[in-house]
Chain A
């Protein structure tokens, strides 16, 4: 990673945020709603990318962090009647705590065992949601009532069901997480993570405590995914067990692989691209999982660096 001047990456990222902001006033209604959803899910992908792309830990269980945020926030509103900020904080805290526990356990393993262990913990989480159907709504899921989804800031109250407010809230979360991940990647800590990915033994030998560095990465990654889940519950008003299923652990992997692992903007591009491919394809066929499957195989076979990864390799070496 070369960094001649720190200005260029920051300019690029602020430009992307500005572009998304402008798009809000240009896009037709349908794509406007879709893009809001994509931005929230891109946050999920960014959280995943931090662990998979930069630390090289392939988790097959990130759906549990997303749904910890989803249920943490959703159930706090539905059952406890909490306000939007408190519910968001609850979801975030649930995800962070879960990530800490899972990290402490799963990081005792590595490689293939890490993938299977994370998948199994996620499966347990999914089954627990189904088992506690009395509170979680089981496989039917639950709708977060519309009157509760109002963000009160001082004297103004923002209705999160309003498309513009929803878009701007999604954009705010997206921008914050994007800038945070850019800052992490460019910091000394980010370099230690990449060093662990490249050669863990050597990093250990150089005196870094690789376990606690990896644990911190799991917690940050899990918290970002939980933030995405909490935002999803509050903005789109639905909490369902399908978000905890294996499929939602695979999707962020697909998005990140497609956009480019270990690139800060890759998750957004991957999510955007895949979402539109599925959206267009579902007009012709209901077999969208077929497309997901073929995309996964083609990506690992011919395009393991993803879109931005390839661009970085060919033309733009400074891309973070």
Chain B
């Protein structure tokens, strides 16, 4: 293969990564933006989504698309419910204190990871894709399913954006994000909004995981990389800024895809992590964000 098609392939792979990353990071960003909580367990909600997708799709016999669709609906709902319980039992009692919640979500990370290891096991298990149509390009064939991930993610992102900007729920969320005390004074049930946002954030991660699991397998440690990458995306995009999050996800996903085709993945990670740490040190509002209040 020549350099051009090679680059195209890398870019396509990068776009798939970006699509999944944008959804995961959007969840993290919403939780941070509205609740000011850094959810270290976010990657574990992602992992739970994938593991549940495997469990659901193997439980349902028949055409693989049937099991996959059931997983796409059920897995995020279950993960959302788990997140809701965690929020009620732990985060609310801590009054959403930023530092205490980080320690608590680290605890959740260990608990979820260990339970997944105990009940799901250390194996990596595949989920069959709902369809296996290959699109033939002049240089290589490309999985139609991967392209549909990009489309599905774009659809979900637009839907989330519409909910946030055009509906009353979105208005309430933005009001809470802007000033939770004033929102409370105007009769907005702030703790309910927080619970909903935390569940929504976890569900976004779970959806992303269900989408990716037919091409990457479910494993109990798979939450680590998405967590780190989501952090990177949220920081580059500006903590709490949604448009920045999406732009940064595309940027990071593309460069991750392209860099890891041409360089050692460990070196790529070292450079990316170091760069992001420097961004946080010297430009804490992110590359696209405005100055925080």
Contact = CB atoms under 8 A, between A and B. Distances in A.
Interface stretch (B1-9, B103-111, B126-134): B103-111
A97 interface: no
Contacts of A112: 38, 98-99, 102
Interface string B84-117: 0000001001100011101110111111011101
Q: How large is the interface on B (under 10, 10 to 19, 20 to 34, 35 or more residues)?
A: 35 or more
A111 interface: yes
Given A131-B266, A296-B103, A117 B281 contact: yes
Which of A294, A296, A300 is the most central at the interface, judged by chain B CB atoms within 10 Å of its CB? A300
A295 B111 CA distance: 10
B115 to A, nearest CB: 7
Interface string B231-274: 10001000000000000000000000000000010110110011
A111 B98 contact: yes
Interface string B273-286: 11011101110100
A287 B266 CA distance: 29
A106 B106 contact: no
Contacts of B61: none
B277 A300 contact: no
A300 B94 contact: yes
B291 interface: no
B38 A124 contact: no
A121 interface: yes
A13 B239 CA distance: 45
A127 B235 CA distance: 20
Contacts of B90: 297, 301
A128 B273 CA distance: 11
Which of B93, B98, B103, B264 is the most central at the interface, judged by chain A CB atoms within 10 Å of its CB? B103
A116 B107 contact: no
Which of B94, B110, B228, B278 is the most central at the interface, judged by chain A CB atoms within 10 Å of its CB? B110
A294 B111 CA distance: 7
A177 B257 CA distance: 47
Contacts of A289: 110, 113-114
B273 A123 contact: yes
Contact of A293 (B114, B235, B267): B114
A247 B110 CA distance: 10
Contact of A109 (B94, B276, B281): B281
A291 B277 CA distance: 31
Contacts of B264: 131
A301 B117 CA distance: 25
B231 A116 contact: yes
A292 interface: yes
B284 A113 contact: yes
Contacts of B231: 116, 120
B145 to A, nearest CB: 31
Nearest to A120: B277
A100 B271 CA distance: 21
A105 interface: yes
A130 interface: yes
Contact of B111 (A108, A121, A250, A290): A290
Contacts of A108: 281-282
B90 to A, nearest CB: 6
A168 to B, nearest CB: 35
Contact of B38 (A116, A130, A295, A297): A116
A189 to B, nearest CB: 24
A163 interface: no
Contact of B110 (A105, A113, A124, A293): A293
B284 A115 contact: no
A105 B281 contact: yes
B225 to A, nearest CB: 11
Given A106-B281, A120-B273, A124-B273, A290 B108 contact: no
Interface string A242-261: 00000000100100010000
Given A120-B280, A293-B110, A115 B266 contact: no
B103 A131 contact: no
A130 B267 CA distance: 10
Nearest to B41: A293
Nearest to A56: B99
List the 10 closest A-B pairs by CB distance, nearest first: A293-B110, A296-B107, A293-B111, A297-B107, A290-B114, A120-B277, A293-B107, A289-B110, A289-B114, A127-B270
24 contacts: A60-B102, A105-B278, A108-B281, A108-B282, A112-B38, A112-B102, A113-B284, A116-B235, A120-B231, A120-B277, A127-B266, A131-B267, A253-B103, A287-B114, A293-B106, A293-B108, A293-B109, A295-B107, A296-B110, A297-B108, A297-B111, A300-B100, A300-B103, A301-B90
Interface of B: 38, 90, 93-94, 98-100, 102-104, 106-111, 113-115, 117-118, 228, 231, 235, 264, 266-267, 269-270, 273-274, 276-278, 280-282, 284
Given A109-B280, A112-B98, 17 more contacts: A58-B99, A106-B281, A111-B99, A113-B280, A116-B38, A120-B231, A120-B274, A121-B277, A127-B273, A128-B270, A131-B270, A257-B103, A289-B114, A290-B115, A296-B110, A297-B111, A301-B94
